Amino acid sequence: MIAHPNSLSATEAVRLILLGKLSSEDLVKACLDRIALRDRAVNAWACVDADSALEQARKRDTWTGPRGPLHGIPIGVKDVIDTVDMPTEYGSQIYSGHRPPWDAACVALARAAGAVVIGKTATTEFANIHPAATRNPHNLLHSPGGSSSGSAAAIADHMIPIAFGTQTAGSTIRPAAFCGVMAYKPSFGLISRFGLKLVAESLDTVGLLGRSLDDLTLLMKVVSAHNMISLKKGPLTVPRIGVYLPSFLDEAEPSACDLLEQSAKTLAAAGASVLICNSRLDDARLNIAHSIIMGYESARSMSYEFSERKASLSFALAARLEEGVQLTLGRYEDALNDACSARHEFDQLMQNFDVVITLSASGEAPIGIESTGSSLFNRIWTLLGAPCIHLPCALGPNSLPLGIQIIGPLHQDMTFLEHAQWISQKLGSTEFVSQHFLAS
């Protein structure tokens, strides 16, 4: 009998199910028990279908055919991603009870690989700025981040091992940072967005959250059209690491800056070439470009909701969409050109490094749930389309998680994941996650 199977990583659970030491039904039941115990406080879920999840799990346990790589593994799906068998409400009363006639591509691929969809994780309204009711499991008085609030909180609280999120600015990396879990925003376009309620089509990316890089790679193999291979278990190539210090570093808390500095020293002591990035992207200009692109595109992607159901939108989102409507085509095109130029500059920067490390967020999760925190440290990387990973590796002065963000070259995700694995091993990220998850 496995104690607390809901605390297992996805890769550990896959191995135990394959060996016959754990059933999918026992794993799913443990996750459902945890949800029943804790979710009234955490509010990580928009919808949970316990009966369906257990039925799916029993079918996995009696299946005699070929098994997929996620056979029997429970997963959460952010509630801006369509599911055929449960409501998809996009965090909005406008779509209360809405039932799409299909699964989003990433959900369909996960199911085909044997995953058990337990339910829909809470999201901010339309994956935008108005927060969900989700709270940070480490301290319920603090924000879990957003917009993938529920996915990060559910994993941090041992409710599920893996989940889908999305990112338009910092919506996967930041909640992972605040909740102390691992997250991966792949290169732009690497995962199909069919079935995702778009915010900004030039930026939106399906994100992955889990308890280890092995978990994230396993899920990536399933949902990506690319031939993703398993991470190496033997010696890994030592990466050339750049330390990226943005122009707005004074917006960060001292504890976050100290952790980045200490991480760089640890990686250098482990044998990596670690250098400060002498050339820096035009952060201020790129943050403006991101805001313009997101504002212009979201106002148009949500034209129905804004024109026909404006009274049902939050004040904050309605105001943001109003600003987006006022943006001119000329400003939008200028912002797109700025982003294109910056991608060329980023390619030049990455000629000297395999990865760069920087802050994932300004610091620990802020107190209160009226805001999901600032995406300042994430926007430019989303604008560039670059792959990003959050590694949790410390506790801050308020005993809340801190970590670092790793950035890699565009569309070199497999090599990027291997370099991230080396960094994770040297910083002890997996051990940190194991030790500092909430006790079951």
What tokens were used for 97? 């009870």
| 21: annotated active-site residue | no
> Which residue's entry shows tokens 């994941």?
417
| 29: annotated active-site residue | no
Catalytic residue among 23, 92, 143, 147: 147
Strands (E), 122-257: 162-167, 182-185, 205-210, 240-243
65 near 144, Cβ under 8 Å?
A: no
**Which DSSP string do the residues of 157-184 spell out, in sequence order?**
TTS-SEEEEEESSSTTHHHHHHHT-EEE
Catalytic residue among 23, 24, 148, 171: 171
Question: In terms of C-beta density within 10 A (0-12 exposed, 13-18 middle, 19 or more buried), how is residue 307 classed?
Answer: exposed
Amino acid at 121: T
Catalytic residue among 78, 185, 197, 426: 78
CA distance 241 to 274: 5
Report the side by side order of strands in the sheet with 388-395.
45-48, 116-121, 74-78, 162-167, 205-210, 182-185, 388-395, 401-407, 355-359, 240-243, 273-276
| Distances, alpha carbon 138 to alpha carbons 16, 145, 367, 413, in Å | 28, 12, 12, 31
| 120: annotated active-site residue | no
Active-site positions read 78, 147, 171
